[in-house]
Amino acid sequence: MGTFVTTFLGAILVILWLLVLGRILMSWFDPTGRSQLSAFLIRATEPILAPVRRALPPTGMFDFSSFLVLIVLGVLWRVLL
């Protein structure tokens, strides 16, 4: 049972990591967020990114919350394995 839970949580972390990475990439190609893919990625990742964005001080035009979330998800995934 433990391996199932570990595998399931690992899969969730990888999916979240890919969604956040996709949002970062789409912000470079579609900064307005008008495409359906951009809208989906925003809806899927905003609940994770919004609290981090509120906690981090603004740094000009760069939003480091996405990168911080990627790092945290990666660390959690490595700890889980």
Output the pLDDT for position 49: 94
The domain ranges of the chain are 2-52+63-80
pLDDT for 1 equals: 58
Predicted local confidence at residue 67, as pLDDT: 92
Q: Return the pLDDT at 21.
A: 95
- E strand or H helix at 63: none
- Which two three-digit tokens encode residue 49? 């990114």
Q: Would you list the DSSP string of the chain?
A: -HHHHHHHHHHHHHHHHHHHHHHHHHHHH-TT--SHHHHHHHHHHHHHHHHHHHHSPPBTTB--HHHHHHHHHHHHHHHH-
Query: One digit per residue, pLDDT tens: the chain, 81 residues?
Result: 578 888 899 999 999 999 999 999 998 888 887 889 999 999 999 999 999 999 988 777 788 899 999 999 999 999 987
